[in-house]
Structures are given as C-alpha cells and as structure tokens.
Amino acid sequence: MATWYFKPSSDSNFETLGNWWSNVNGTGSNPSVIPWTTSATAGDNLQYATGSSGDAILSLHGTKLGNGFSITGTCYVNIKRNGSNFNNDGSIISSGTYNGNITFTQLGGGSFRIGNIAGGTFNGNVLTIFNISNGTFNGSVSDVRGQILGGTFNSNVSQINNISAGNFYNATVTNVSSITGGTPPYNYTGYWAGDCYLNGASGAKTGCA
C-alpha cells in the first residue's frame, strides 16, 4: 500500500502519472500505472500534496476506477469527470472510498455520455451523473440524468430524473421527476412509487383520501 500525493504539473489530469508523487511535498517518484485502475494499486491512498488543491480530472475515455476489483484505499482528492464524446461511457467508479467531491460534466452531446457510478462510499458530494446502481452516499447527490437503480443514501438527494430502487430512509429527497421503487425517507409525506405516505416511511402506509 502506498500514498500518492496529487500535485498538478503540465495539466490537472488524473491519468497523468507526473501529477502523483510519493512525498507529501510533491517530490519523489511517480507511480508506474494510473492509480486505482489496476488491482495492484487497489490499496493505495490518494491525497493532496502540501499546498495543492483543485480537481483531478478524469480526462480519457475508458478510465475506470475499481473496475473488476475492489479498491480498499481512500481518495481525499476532488475528482472531476469531463463528459465524453463517446456513447455509453459505462461505469466510471465501481469501488473505493471518496472523501472529496465527485463532479461530472456534460460535454460533447447527450447526458448518457456522462458516465455511471456502480459502487463505492462517497463522503463528499456527487454532482451530475447518468446512472447510480450501487454505493453508499453520505454526502449530497444531485442532478442524476438517468436514474437511481440502487444504493444507500444518507443525505440530501435532489434533481433526479427517476428513482427505481435504493434505500432513502435517512435521506431528504426533493425534485424527482418519477419514483417507481425504493425505500422512502423516514419523514416522507406524499406519493412514493404509487403509494401515499401520510405518516412518514416508518409509520402506517395509507391511501390518499
């Protein structure tokens, strides 16, 4: 297990090996492969070098974190994903613990090109994504262009196209276009997946009169 410190050089790209350093002051050696893209780096931690800040940008089509293996390390760096010019960019993040913010942007066309989250623990905020199929979200989640297909949500969830599954018991959910499944929040009042909750998700479920 190693710790790699992010200090941008010629660019701010996550994939640039020269942006990751073995020493906290942004000196020393660089990794031989992009962190968290192979099982050999799954236990590594990712932090900012002293005096560094900003986003580590996932810039290349096909860069996926924890795809096919489980990341056990923690990322303290904010990650930004620029929208792809390719259709169906797949699961960008599949595992790992993220204490920084995750921000995806829509470039090059439709929202299906943003990418998906298929797993991981997110203690920072997640902004703009296509689908979420799994994961634990302790920070806010907003602007899901596709749908939420699963996961556990413990904070604010807003601006969602559709919720079809997931546990929202400890969340506050607002501004959702469609709800077809999932567990509603504890204090939810109103329609959830066709049923009316007048006493919160923990109370008796009754029809709307």
Is residue 83 assigned to a domain?
Answer: yes
Tell me, what's the pLDDT at 59? Answer: 80
Q: In this structure, what token pair is assigned to residue 93?
A: 């993040």
Is residue 39 assigned to a domain?
Answer: no
Is residue 140 assigned to a domain?
Answer: yes
Full residue range of the structural domain in which residue 59 is found = 54-197
- Is pLDDT of 167 > 90? yes
The larger pLDDT score, comparing residue 108 to residue 16, is at 16
Question: Backbone dihedral region of 145: left (phi > 0), alpha (psi from -120 to 50 degrees) or beta?
Answer: alpha
Tell me, what's the pLDDT at 190? Answer: 81
What average pLDDT score do residues 127-132 get? 89
Is residue 151 assigned to a domain?
Answer: yes
Is residue 29 assigned to a domain?
Answer: no
Question: Does the pTM exceed 0.75?
Answer: yes
Task: Look up residue 1 and give its amino acid.
Answer: M
Summarised one tens digit per residue, pLDDT across range 64-101 is 999 899 999 999 999 998 765 555 555 689 999 999 99
SS3 per-residue string spanning 53-78? CCEEEECCCCCCECCCCCCCCEECCE
- CA 67 – CA 10 distance, rounded (Å): 27
8 Å CB contact between 140 and 159: no
Percentage of the chain modeled with pLDDT above 90: 68
- CA 185 – CA 62 distance, rounded (Å): 35
Is residue 3 assigned to a domain?
Answer: no
**Residue 19 φ/ψ, nearest 5 degrees:** -90, -5
Beta pairing class for 190-192 and 195-197:
antiparallel
Using pLDDT thresholds of 50, 70 and 90, give the confidence band for residue 106. Answer: low
Tell me, what's the pLDDT at 105? Answer: 74
Is residue 87 assigned to a domain?
Answer: yes
Tell me, what's the pLDDT at 129? Answer: 85
Is residue 5 assigned to a domain?
Answer: no
- How many independent structural domains does the chain possess? 1
Q: Rounded to an integer, what is the distance from CA 96 to the centroid of its chain? A: 10
